[in-house]
Structure 1
Amino acid sequence: MSQLIQSHHKLWVILPAAGSGSRFSKTELKQYQMIHGQTVLEHTVARLNHLPLAGYVLAIGANDHVAKTLPLAHRDRAHFCLGGAERVHSVLNALDYLSAIASEHDWVLVHDAARPCVSLGSLEMLVHTAIEKDQAAILAIPVRDTLKRVAKDQAIEHTVDRLMLWQAQTPQMARLGSLKRAIQQTLKDGATITDEASALEHVGEPVCVVQGRSDNLKITYPDDLELAKLILAAQS
Protein backbone atom coordinates (compact mmCIF):
# COMPACT_ATOMS: atom_id res chain seq x y z
CA MET A 1 0.00 0.00 0.00
CA SER A 2 2.77 2.47 0.93
CA GLN A 3 4.64 1.77 -2.30
CA LEU A 4 1.46 2.21 -4.34
CA ILE A 5 0.74 5.61 -2.77
CA GLN A 6 4.32 6.83 -2.97
CA SER A 7 4.30 6.26 -6.71
CA HIS A 8 1.00 8.12 -7.12
CA HIS A 9 1.47 11.22 -4.93
CA LYS A 10 0.68 11.63 -1.24
CA LEU A 11 -2.44 10.68 0.66
CA TRP A 12 -4.24 13.13 2.96
CA VAL A 13 -7.42 12.98 5.05
CA ILE A 14 -9.94 15.74 5.75
CA LEU A 15 -12.26 15.46 8.74
CA PRO A 16 -15.03 18.08 8.76
CA ALA A 17 -15.81 18.44 12.47
CA ALA A 18 -17.34 21.90 12.84
CA GLY A 19 -21.02 20.97 12.69
CA SER A 20 -23.39 21.31 15.61
CA GLY A 21 -24.73 17.76 15.32
CA SER A 22 -28.16 18.96 16.39
CA ARG A 23 -29.82 15.62 15.61
CA PHE A 24 -27.57 14.02 18.24
CA SER A 25 -27.86 16.69 20.91
CA LYS A 26 -28.53 20.41 21.25
CA THR A 27 -25.62 20.82 23.67
CA GLU A 28 -23.14 17.95 23.19
CA LEU A 29 -20.94 17.26 20.16
CA LYS A 30 -21.13 13.63 19.07
CA GLN A 31 -17.44 13.44 18.12
CA TYR A 32 -16.50 14.02 21.76
CA GLN A 33 -18.67 11.30 23.26
CA MET A 34 -16.70 8.55 24.98
CA ILE A 35 -16.41 4.96 23.75
CA HIS A 36 -14.14 2.54 25.61
CA GLY A 37 -12.10 5.35 27.16
CA GLN A 38 -11.60 7.40 24.00
CA THR A 39 -13.63 10.01 22.19
CA VAL A 40 -15.39 9.11 18.96
CA LEU A 41 -12.98 11.42 17.14
CA GLU A 42 -9.94 9.63 18.56
CA HIS A 43 -11.31 6.29 17.34
CA THR A 44 -11.97 7.74 13.88
CA VAL A 45 -8.52 9.30 13.56
CA ALA A 46 -6.85 6.10 14.75
CA ARG A 47 -8.64 4.06 12.07
CA LEU A 48 -7.63 6.43 9.29
CA ASN A 49 -4.02 6.48 10.44
CA HIS A 50 -3.66 2.80 9.60
CA LEU A 51 -3.18 4.20 6.10
CA PRO A 52 0.23 5.72 5.25
CA LEU A 53 -1.01 9.30 5.44
CA ALA A 54 1.05 12.39 4.76
CA GLY A 55 -1.28 14.14 7.20
CA TYR A 56 -4.85 14.79 8.24
CA VAL A 57 -6.75 18.06 8.59
CA LEU A 58 -9.49 18.63 11.14
CA ALA A 59 -11.83 21.47 10.22
CA ILE A 60 -13.18 22.57 13.61
CA GLY A 61 -15.48 25.26 14.95
CA ALA A 62 -14.19 28.59 16.21
CA ASN A 63 -15.30 27.72 19.76
CA ASP A 64 -13.94 24.19 19.75
CA HIS A 65 -11.33 24.02 22.49
CA VAL A 66 -11.26 20.23 22.70
CA ALA A 67 -9.86 18.88 19.43
CA LYS A 68 -6.36 20.29 19.83
CA THR A 69 -6.06 18.85 23.36
CA LEU A 70 -6.81 15.24 22.42
CA PRO A 71 -4.06 12.59 22.22
CA LEU A 72 -4.81 11.90 18.56
CA ALA A 73 -3.05 9.11 16.72
CA HIS A 74 0.10 10.25 14.91
CA ARG A 75 -0.25 13.73 16.38
CA ASP A 76 2.69 14.82 14.21
CA ARG A 77 0.46 14.38 11.16
CA ALA A 78 -2.37 16.51 12.56
CA HIS A 79 -3.35 19.86 11.04
CA PHE A 80 -6.23 22.15 12.02
CA CYS A 81 -8.22 24.74 10.14
CA LEU A 82 -11.40 26.70 10.79
CA GLY A 83 -14.58 24.97 9.69
CA GLY A 84 -17.52 26.58 7.95
CA ALA A 85 -21.24 27.04 8.39
CA GLU A 86 -22.01 23.78 6.56
CA ARG A 87 -20.06 20.59 5.97
CA VAL A 88 -19.21 21.60 2.41
CA HIS A 89 -17.65 24.87 3.59
CA SER A 90 -15.55 23.01 6.15
CA VAL A 91 -14.30 20.66 3.44
CA LEU A 92 -13.51 23.57 1.14
CA ASN A 93 -11.64 25.39 3.93
CA ALA A 94 -9.58 22.25 4.53
CA LEU A 95 -8.86 21.91 0.80
CA ASP A 96 -7.70 25.54 0.76
CA TYR A 97 -5.44 24.79 3.72
CA LEU A 98 -4.00 21.71 2.01
CA SER A 99 -3.42 23.62 -1.22
CA ALA A 100 -0.65 25.54 0.54
CA ILE A 101 1.25 22.42 1.63
CA ALA A 102 0.26 19.69 -0.85
CA SER A 103 0.17 19.08 -4.58
CA GLU A 104 -3.14 19.42 -6.40
CA HIS A 105 -2.44 15.91 -7.71
CA ASP A 106 -2.27 14.43 -4.20
CA TRP A 107 -5.15 12.24 -3.10
CA VAL A 108 -7.60 13.37 -0.43
CA LEU A 109 -10.03 11.26 1.56
CA VAL A 110 -12.92 13.11 3.19
CA HIS A 111 -14.37 11.22 6.12
CA ASP A 112 -17.10 11.88 8.69
CA ALA A 113 -15.61 12.61 12.11
CA ALA A 114 -18.42 10.60 13.72
CA ARG A 115 -17.86 7.46 11.63
CA PRO A 116 -15.36 5.57 13.83
CA CYS A 117 -16.08 1.99 12.72
CA VAL A 118 -14.73 2.04 9.16
CA SER A 119 -12.61 -1.06 8.59
CA LEU A 120 -9.01 -1.10 7.43
CA GLY A 121 -9.98 -3.49 4.66
CA SER A 122 -12.53 -1.01 3.32
CA LEU A 123 -10.03 1.85 3.52
CA GLU A 124 -7.38 -0.11 1.65
CA MET A 125 -9.82 -1.22 -1.04
CA LEU A 126 -11.01 2.36 -1.56
CA VAL A 127 -7.48 3.73 -1.90
CA HIS A 128 -6.37 0.90 -4.17
CA THR A 129 -9.40 1.29 -6.45
CA ALA A 130 -9.12 5.07 -6.78
CA ILE A 131 -5.41 4.91 -7.59
CA GLU A 132 -5.68 1.96 -9.97
CA LYS A 133 -8.60 3.53 -11.86
CA ASP A 134 -7.14 7.04 -11.46
CA GLN A 135 -10.54 8.47 -10.62
CA ALA A 136 -12.59 9.51 -7.62
CA ALA A 137 -14.18 6.76 -5.55
CA ILE A 138 -16.45 6.41 -2.54
CA LEU A 139 -17.42 3.68 -0.11
CA ALA A 140 -21.05 2.65 -0.43
CA ILE A 141 -23.30 -0.33 0.18
CA PRO A 142 -26.18 -1.65 -1.94
CA VAL A 143 -29.61 -0.76 -0.60
CA ARG A 144 -31.06 -3.89 1.00
CA ASP A 145 -34.51 -2.90 2.19
CA THR A 146 -37.62 -2.34 0.14
CA LEU A 147 -37.98 1.39 -0.52
CA LYS A 148 -41.29 3.23 -0.69
CA ARG A 149 -42.05 6.64 -2.15
CA VAL A 150 -44.44 8.24 0.33
CA ALA A 151 -46.81 11.19 -0.16
CA LYS A 152 -47.21 14.02 2.32
CA ASP A 153 -50.15 12.28 3.96
CA GLN A 154 -47.92 9.24 4.68
CA ALA A 155 -49.65 7.20 2.00
CA ILE A 156 -47.42 5.01 -0.18
CA GLU A 157 -47.27 6.15 -3.80
CA HIS A 158 -45.19 3.26 -5.12
CA THR A 159 -42.29 0.92 -4.44
CA VAL A 160 -38.92 2.18 -5.64
CA ASP A 161 -36.73 -0.21 -7.64
CA ARG A 162 -33.60 -0.63 -5.51
CA LEU A 163 -31.61 -2.59 -8.09
CA MET A 164 -29.39 0.38 -9.01
CA LEU A 165 -29.44 2.14 -5.63
CA TRP A 166 -26.47 2.38 -3.28
CA GLN A 167 -26.19 4.09 0.11
CA ALA A 168 -23.20 6.43 0.13
CA GLN A 169 -20.70 6.31 2.99
CA THR A 170 -17.33 7.89 3.67
CA PRO A 171 -14.45 8.14 3.08
CA GLN A 172 -14.87 9.69 -0.34
CA MET A 173 -11.61 10.01 -2.26
CA ALA A 174 -10.46 12.30 -5.08
CA ARG A 175 -7.52 14.32 -6.31
CA LEU A 176 -7.12 17.47 -4.23
CA GLY A 177 -7.32 19.89 -7.15
CA SER A 178 -10.23 18.15 -8.84
CA LEU A 179 -12.31 18.07 -5.67
CA LYS A 180 -11.58 21.70 -4.81
CA ARG A 181 -12.56 22.93 -8.28
CA ALA A 182 -15.69 20.77 -8.29
CA ILE A 183 -16.91 22.15 -4.96
CA GLN A 184 -16.14 25.74 -5.97
CA GLN A 185 -18.02 25.38 -9.25
CA THR A 186 -20.99 23.61 -7.70
CA LEU A 187 -21.33 26.29 -5.03
CA LYS A 188 -21.06 28.98 -7.71
CA ASP A 189 -23.86 27.29 -9.66
CA GLY A 190 -26.05 27.17 -6.57
CA ALA A 191 -26.46 23.40 -6.79
CA THR A 192 -26.98 21.24 -3.72
CA ILE A 193 -23.92 19.44 -2.33
CA THR A 194 -24.87 16.52 -0.11
CA ASP A 195 -21.45 14.89 -0.22
CA GLU A 196 -18.17 15.23 -2.10
CA ALA A 197 -19.31 12.88 -4.85
CA SER A 198 -22.32 15.09 -5.61
CA ALA A 199 -20.00 18.02 -6.37
CA LEU A 200 -17.85 15.85 -8.63
CA GLU A 201 -20.96 14.52 -10.36
CA HIS A 202 -22.17 18.09 -10.95
CA VAL A 203 -19.06 18.98 -12.96
CA GLY A 204 -19.00 15.70 -14.86
CA GLU A 205 -16.14 14.01 -12.99
CA PRO A 206 -16.56 10.22 -12.93
CA VAL A 207 -16.89 8.64 -9.49
CA CYS A 208 -16.82 4.91 -8.89
CA VAL A 209 -18.36 2.98 -6.02
CA VAL A 210 -16.37 0.63 -3.81
CA GLN A 211 -18.52 -1.72 -1.75
CA GLY A 212 -18.05 -1.01 1.93
CA ARG A 213 -19.58 -2.64 4.99
CA SER A 214 -22.80 -2.11 6.86
CA ASP A 215 -20.90 -1.67 10.14
CA ASN A 216 -19.35 1.59 8.86
CA LEU A 217 -21.84 3.40 11.05
CA LYS A 218 -22.26 7.18 11.15
CA ILE A 219 -23.24 8.30 14.63
CA THR A 220 -26.23 10.58 14.06
CA TYR A 221 -28.65 9.91 16.90
CA PRO A 222 -27.98 9.11 20.59
CA ASP A 223 -28.81 5.41 20.22
CA ASP A 224 -26.19 5.15 17.45
CA LEU A 225 -23.55 5.66 20.12
CA GLU A 226 -24.51 2.43 21.85
CA LEU A 227 -24.45 0.59 18.53
CA ALA A 228 -20.99 2.01 17.76
CA LYS A 229 -19.76 0.72 21.11
CA LEU A 230 -20.94 -2.78 20.22
CA ILE A 231 -19.43 -2.64 16.74
CA LEU A 232 -16.03 -1.45 17.98
CA ALA A 233 -16.01 -4.11 20.68
CA ALA A 234 -16.83 -6.81 18.11
CA GLN A 235 -14.20 -5.55 15.67
CA SER A 236 -11.49 -5.57 18.31
Structure 2
Amino acid sequence: MMIGKKKKRPFVSAIIVAAGNASRMDGIDKQLVEISGMPVVIRSVLAFEHSNKVDEIIVVTKKESIPELNRQVREFFANKVKFIVAGGKTRQESVFCGVNCVDDRCEYVAIHDGARPLVLTGAVDACIDDAVEHGCALLGVKVKETIKAVDEERFVEKTIDRENLFIAQTPQIFEIALYRRAMEHADSTGADYTDDCQLVESIGQKVYVSRGHYNNIKITTPDDISYAQALLEQMEDRI
Protein backbone atom coordinates (compact mmCIF):
# COMPACT_ATOMS: atom_id res chain seq x y z
CA MET A 1 0.00 0.00 0.00
CA MET A 2 1.28 3.43 -0.92
CA ILE A 3 1.30 5.78 2.06
CA GLY A 4 0.51 9.45 1.58
CA LYS A 5 -0.64 9.08 -2.03
CA LYS A 6 -2.65 12.13 -3.03
CA LYS A 7 -6.21 11.42 -4.11
CA LYS A 8 -6.87 12.32 -7.73
CA ARG A 9 -9.04 15.40 -8.19
CA PRO A 10 -12.34 14.65 -9.97
CA PHE A 11 -13.09 16.12 -13.38
CA VAL A 12 -15.70 18.88 -12.93
CA SER A 13 -17.81 20.39 -15.71
CA ALA A 14 -19.60 23.69 -15.08
CA ILE A 15 -22.81 24.55 -16.89
CA ILE A 16 -23.77 28.22 -16.94
CA VAL A 17 -27.48 28.54 -17.71
CA ALA A 18 -28.25 31.80 -19.53
CA ALA A 19 -31.16 30.90 -21.79
CA GLY A 20 -34.10 32.50 -19.95
CA ASN A 21 -36.52 34.90 -21.62
CA ALA A 22 -36.05 37.64 -18.96
CA SER A 23 -39.80 38.25 -18.77
CA ARG A 24 -39.41 40.51 -15.71
CA MET A 25 -36.59 42.63 -17.17
CA ASP A 26 -38.69 45.01 -19.32
CA GLY A 27 -37.11 43.72 -22.52
CA ILE A 28 -33.52 43.96 -21.21
CA ASP A 29 -31.30 40.93 -21.84
CA LYS A 30 -30.00 40.54 -18.28
CA GLN A 31 -27.23 38.18 -19.33
CA LEU A 32 -25.60 40.76 -21.60
CA VAL A 33 -26.16 43.89 -19.50
CA GLU A 34 -22.88 45.18 -18.08
CA ILE A 35 -21.89 45.60 -14.45
CA SER A 36 -18.70 47.63 -14.05
CA GLY A 37 -17.87 47.12 -17.72
CA MET A 38 -18.41 43.37 -17.84
CA PRO A 39 -21.52 41.45 -18.97
CA VAL A 40 -23.44 39.64 -16.25
CA VAL A 41 -23.01 36.19 -17.79
CA ILE A 42 -19.25 36.68 -18.27
CA ARG A 43 -18.87 37.55 -14.57
CA SER A 44 -20.63 34.28 -13.79
CA VAL A 45 -18.40 32.38 -16.20
CA LEU A 46 -15.19 33.85 -14.76
CA ALA A 47 -16.02 32.68 -11.23
CA PHE A 48 -15.64 29.15 -12.59
CA GLU A 49 -12.81 30.03 -14.98
CA HIS A 50 -10.72 31.06 -11.97
CA SER A 51 -11.41 27.86 -10.02
CA ASN A 52 -8.63 25.29 -9.92
CA LYS A 53 -11.30 22.63 -9.37
CA VAL A 54 -13.25 23.29 -12.60
CA ASP A 55 -12.02 21.71 -15.83
CA GLU A 56 -14.46 22.91 -18.47
CA ILE A 57 -17.38 25.31 -18.88
CA ILE A 58 -20.45 24.96 -21.08
CA VAL A 59 -22.65 28.03 -21.55
CA VAL A 60 -26.29 27.47 -22.47
CA THR A 61 -27.98 30.50 -23.97
CA LYS A 62 -30.53 31.65 -26.51
CA LYS A 63 -29.66 30.75 -30.09
CA GLU A 64 -29.52 34.39 -31.16
CA SER A 65 -27.07 35.24 -28.34
CA ILE A 66 -24.44 32.65 -29.31
CA PRO A 67 -22.39 34.87 -31.68
CA GLU A 68 -22.16 37.70 -29.13
CA LEU A 69 -21.25 35.34 -26.32
CA ASN A 70 -18.56 33.76 -28.46
CA ARG A 71 -17.05 37.22 -28.95
CA GLN A 72 -17.25 38.04 -25.23
CA VAL A 73 -15.69 34.75 -24.17
CA ARG A 74 -12.65 35.57 -26.33
CA GLU A 75 -12.54 39.19 -25.14
CA PHE A 76 -12.47 38.25 -21.46
CA PHE A 77 -10.18 35.21 -21.88
CA ALA A 78 -12.64 32.60 -20.60
CA ASN A 79 -10.42 29.82 -21.88
CA LYS A 80 -12.23 26.96 -20.15
CA VAL A 81 -15.41 27.53 -22.16
CA LYS A 82 -15.69 24.44 -24.35
CA PHE A 83 -19.14 24.95 -25.87
CA ILE A 84 -21.77 27.67 -26.15
CA VAL A 85 -25.02 25.93 -27.02
CA ALA A 86 -28.68 26.82 -27.50
CA GLY A 87 -31.06 26.01 -24.68
CA GLY A 88 -34.55 24.54 -24.67
CA LYS A 89 -38.04 25.79 -23.92
CA THR A 90 -37.65 25.43 -20.14
CA ARG A 91 -34.79 25.76 -17.70
CA GLN A 92 -34.72 22.01 -17.23
CA GLU A 93 -34.44 21.43 -20.97
CA SER A 94 -31.64 24.00 -21.14
CA VAL A 95 -29.68 22.31 -18.36
CA PHE A 96 -30.12 18.95 -20.06
CA CYS A 97 -28.69 20.47 -23.27
CA GLY A 98 -25.60 21.45 -21.30
CA VAL A 99 -25.26 18.11 -19.52
CA ASN A 100 -25.37 16.33 -22.88
CA CYS A 101 -22.25 18.29 -23.93
CA VAL A 102 -19.97 17.49 -21.00
CA ASP A 103 -16.68 15.72 -21.51
CA ASP A 104 -16.65 11.92 -21.21
CA ARG A 105 -14.30 12.34 -18.23
CA CYS A 106 -16.88 14.38 -16.27
CA GLU A 107 -17.45 13.08 -12.74
CA TYR A 108 -19.30 16.07 -11.25
CA VAL A 109 -21.45 18.69 -12.91
CA ALA A 110 -21.82 22.19 -11.41
CA ILE A 111 -24.96 24.00 -12.59
CA HIS A 112 -25.05 27.77 -12.13
CA ASP A 113 -27.47 30.55 -13.05
CA GLY A 114 -25.83 32.96 -15.47
CA ALA A 115 -27.80 35.70 -13.73
CA ARG A 116 -25.81 35.22 -10.48
CA PRO A 117 -22.69 37.22 -11.40
CA LEU A 118 -21.40 37.84 -7.87
CA VAL A 119 -20.78 34.25 -6.85
CA LEU A 120 -17.34 33.84 -5.29
CA THR A 121 -14.83 31.36 -6.65
CA GLY A 122 -14.04 30.31 -3.08
CA ALA A 123 -17.69 29.42 -2.51
CA VAL A 124 -17.72 27.44 -5.76
CA ASP A 125 -14.65 25.49 -4.63
CA ALA A 126 -16.13 24.75 -1.20
CA CYS A 127 -19.38 23.58 -2.79
CA ILE A 128 -17.44 21.24 -5.09
CA ASP A 129 -15.64 19.76 -2.08
CA ASP A 130 -18.96 19.22 -0.30
CA ALA A 131 -20.47 17.62 -3.41
CA VAL A 132 -17.55 15.22 -3.67
CA GLU A 133 -18.01 14.26 -0.01
CA HIS A 134 -21.83 13.94 -0.07
CA GLY A 135 -22.65 13.16 -3.71
CA CYS A 136 -24.31 16.52 -4.28
CA ALA A 137 -24.42 19.99 -2.74
CA LEU A 138 -25.78 23.47 -3.31
CA LEU A 139 -24.92 26.91 -2.04
CA GLY A 140 -27.47 28.27 0.42
CA VAL A 141 -27.89 30.97 3.04
CA LYS A 142 -30.06 31.01 6.14
CA VAL A 143 -33.35 32.90 5.97
CA LYS A 144 -33.08 36.15 7.94
CA GLU A 145 -36.66 37.40 7.84
CA THR A 146 -39.69 36.11 9.73
CA ILE A 147 -41.75 33.84 7.47
CA LYS A 148 -45.54 33.72 7.67
CA ALA A 149 -47.83 31.06 6.21
CA VAL A 150 -51.16 32.58 5.14
CA ASP A 151 -54.56 31.24 4.11
CA GLU A 152 -56.43 31.94 0.86
CA GLU A 153 -57.70 35.25 2.26
CA ARG A 154 -54.15 36.27 3.24
CA PHE A 155 -54.67 35.94 6.99
CA VAL A 156 -51.70 34.53 8.88
CA GLU A 157 -52.12 30.87 9.72
CA LYS A 158 -48.80 30.41 11.48
CA THR A 159 -45.28 31.72 11.85
CA ILE A 160 -42.73 29.27 10.45
CA ASP A 161 -39.63 28.47 12.47
CA ARG A 162 -36.78 29.82 10.34
CA GLU A 163 -33.99 28.03 12.18
CA ASN A 164 -33.76 25.33 9.53
CA LEU A 165 -34.85 27.40 6.53
CA PHE A 166 -32.31 28.18 3.81
CA ILE A 167 -32.49 30.18 0.57
CA ALA A 168 -31.27 28.02 -2.31
CA GLN A 169 -28.61 29.52 -4.56
CA THR A 170 -26.35 28.17 -7.28
CA PRO A 171 -24.11 26.48 -8.14
CA GLN A 172 -25.82 23.19 -7.45
CA ILE A 173 -23.33 20.38 -7.93
CA PHE A 174 -23.99 16.68 -8.53
CA GLU A 175 -22.17 13.45 -9.20
CA ILE A 176 -22.84 13.06 -12.92
CA ALA A 177 -24.29 9.52 -12.80
CA LEU A 178 -26.73 10.62 -10.09
CA TYR A 179 -27.84 13.61 -12.13
CA ARG A 180 -28.33 11.51 -15.25
CA ARG A 181 -30.52 9.07 -13.31
CA ALA A 182 -32.64 12.01 -12.21
CA MET A 183 -32.80 13.25 -15.82
CA GLU A 184 -34.06 9.86 -16.99
CA HIS A 185 -36.68 9.81 -14.23
CA ALA A 186 -37.92 13.28 -15.17
CA ASP A 187 -38.09 12.29 -18.84
CA SER A 188 -40.07 9.14 -18.05
CA THR A 189 -42.56 10.91 -15.76
CA GLY A 190 -42.89 14.13 -17.76
CA ALA A 191 -41.84 16.21 -14.75
CA ASP A 192 -40.31 19.66 -15.28
CA TYR A 193 -38.37 21.31 -12.46
CA THR A 194 -36.99 24.83 -12.14
CA ASP A 195 -34.53 23.71 -9.45
CA ASP A 196 -31.89 21.05 -10.05
CA CYS A 197 -31.85 19.88 -6.44
CA GLN A 198 -35.59 19.27 -6.67
CA LEU A 199 -34.85 17.12 -9.71
CA VAL A 200 -32.52 14.80 -7.77
CA GLU A 201 -34.71 14.94 -4.67
CA SER A 202 -37.44 13.39 -6.83
CA ILE A 203 -35.45 10.12 -6.92
CA GLY A 204 -34.92 10.14 -3.16
CA GLN A 205 -31.50 11.79 -3.01
CA LYS A 206 -30.61 14.08 -0.11
CA VAL A 207 -28.68 17.26 -0.99
CA TYR A 208 -26.12 18.88 1.29
CA VAL A 209 -26.33 22.66 1.81
CA SER A 210 -22.92 24.30 1.46
CA ARG A 211 -22.27 27.72 2.95
CA GLY A 212 -23.28 30.42 0.47
CA HIS A 213 -23.04 34.21 0.74
CA TYR A 214 -25.77 36.83 0.72
CA ASN A 215 -24.19 38.81 -2.13
CA ASN A 216 -24.82 35.88 -4.49
CA ILE A 217 -28.06 37.43 -5.73
CA LYS A 218 -29.95 36.49 -8.85
CA ILE A 219 -30.68 39.35 -11.24
CA THR A 220 -34.39 39.12 -11.99
CA THR A 221 -35.70 42.68 -12.34
CA PRO A 222 -34.12 45.96 -13.57
CA ASP A 223 -33.70 47.12 -9.96
CA ASP A 224 -31.39 44.18 -9.33
CA ILE A 225 -28.86 45.56 -11.80
CA SER A 226 -28.14 48.69 -9.76
CA TYR A 227 -28.21 46.60 -6.56
CA ALA A 228 -25.64 44.19 -8.00
CA GLN A 229 -23.48 47.14 -9.06
CA ALA A 230 -23.53 48.52 -5.50
CA LEU A 231 -22.72 45.10 -4.02
CA LEU A 232 -19.83 44.65 -6.44
CA GLU A 233 -18.36 48.02 -5.50
CA GLN A 234 -18.57 47.06 -1.81
CA MET A 235 -16.89 43.72 -2.52
CA GLU A 236 -14.09 45.40 -4.47
CA ASP A 237 -13.54 47.96 -1.69
CA ARG A 238 -12.86 45.11 0.76
CA ILE A 239 -10.13 43.59 -1.41
Q: Give me the TM-score of the superposition, normalised by structure 1.
A: 0.89
Contact 1:16 1:90 in 2 (8 A): yes
Contact 1:49 1:73 in 2 (8 A): no
Name 2:69's counterpart in structure 1: 67
Q: Which of 58, 76, 83 matches 1:79?
A: 83
Name 1:39's counterpart in structure 2: 39
How far apart are the structure 1 equivalents of 2:76 and 2:155?
Answer: 48
How far apart are the structure 2 equivalents of 1:41 and 1:117?
Answer: 10
Name 1:214's counterpart in structure 2: 214
How far apart are the structure 2 equivalents of 1:57 and 1:6?
Answer: 26
How far apart are the structure 1 equivalents of 2:82 and 2:58?
Answer: 6
Name 1:7's counterpart in structure 2: 8
Contact 1:136 1:174 in 2 (8 A): yes
Q: Secondary structure of 2:124's partner?
A: helix
Matched, 1:102 2:104: yes
Name 2:123's counterpart in structure 1: 122
Deviations 1:42-73 (A, max 9, x none): 11111121212221001111222421221244
Name 1:54's counterpart in structure 2: 55
User: How far 1:92 moved relative to its partner?
Assistant: 0.5
Q: Secondary structure of 1:153's partner?
A: coil
Contact 1:45 1:73 in 2 (8 A): no
User: How far 1:192 moved relative to its partner?
Assistant: 4.6
Q: Which runs of 4+ in 1 moved over 4 A?
A: none
How far apart are the structure 2 equivalents of 1:177 and 1:20?
Answer: 30
How far apart are the structure 2 equivalents of 1:122 and 1:76?
Answer: 19
Contact 1:42 1:73 in 2 (8 A): no
- The aligned length equals 227
Matched, 1:91 2:95: yes
User: How far 1:144 moved relative to its partner?
Assistant: 1.4
Name 2:149's counterpart in structure 1: 149
Unaligned runs of 5+ in 2: 1-5
Contact 2:63 2:85 in 1 (8 A): no
Identity, % of aligned pairs? 28
223-232 or 181-190, which moves further after superposition? Answer: 181-190
Unaligned runs of 5+ in 1: none
Amino acid at match of 2:195: D
Deviations 1:16-59 (A, max 9, x none): 1111011122x221011111111111111111212122210011
Contact 1:107 1:173 in 2 (8 A): yes
How far apart are the structure 2 equivalents of 1:215 and 1:6?
Answer: 33
Contact 1:186 1:203 in 2 (8 A): no
Contact 2:92 2:192 in 1 (8 A): no
Amino acid at match of 1:109: A
Q: Secondary structure of 1:111's partner?
A: strand
Amino acid at match of 1:13: A
Q: Give me the TM-score of the superposition, normalised by structure 2.
A: 0.88
